[in-house]
Amino acid sequence: QKEVEQDPGPLSVPEGAIVSLNCTYSNSAFQYFMWYRQYSRKGPELLMYTYSSGNKEDGRFTAQVDKSSKYISLFIRDSQPSDSATYLCAMSGTDKLIFGTGTRLQVFP
């Protein structure tokens, strides 16, 4: 079983849609959960992070962590064409980040 699993997509949605991106993991030692956005051939850009379980909201973005199910989600409300990118989940127990494969999102006008 992979340590972090993420559906690679691609996910194609119309502008204004609600997008749900998800990751599952197997290592119960993970305590920090991050979402990064990556444009083609660029570095990962930190969007949000959560410590342990719970929800966190930042503008149009909401991150959820369910440690009992080992499942994390990122919701994007009112999606925009500028949200088109690859979204990477990452998590850690120490400080080494373990990444998912990334989900490619395309928001069309």
Partner 1 sequence: EPEVTQTPSHQVTQMGQEVILRCVPISNHLYFYWYRQILGQKVEFLVSFYNNEISEKSEIFDDQFSVERPDGSNFTLKIRSTKLEDSAMYFCATATSGTTKNIQYFGAGTRLSVL
Q: What are the C-alpha distances in Å from 29 to residues 7, 48, 68?
A: 22, 20, 12
Q: Which is nearer to partner 1, 25 or 36 (CB)?
A: 36
Query: Minimum distance between the CB of residue 49 and partner 1, rounded to whole angstroms?
Result: 5
Residue with tokens 């999606």: 79
User: What is the C-alpha to C-alpha distance for residues 27 and 77, in angstroms, rounded to an integer?
Assistant: 29
Q: Smallest distance from the beta carbon of 73 to partner 1, in angstroms? A: 19
Q: State yes or no: residue 92 binds partner 1 (CB under 8 A).
A: yes
Residues that bind partner 1 (CB under 8 A): 31-32, 34, 36, 41-46, 49, 51, 88, 90, 92, 94-102
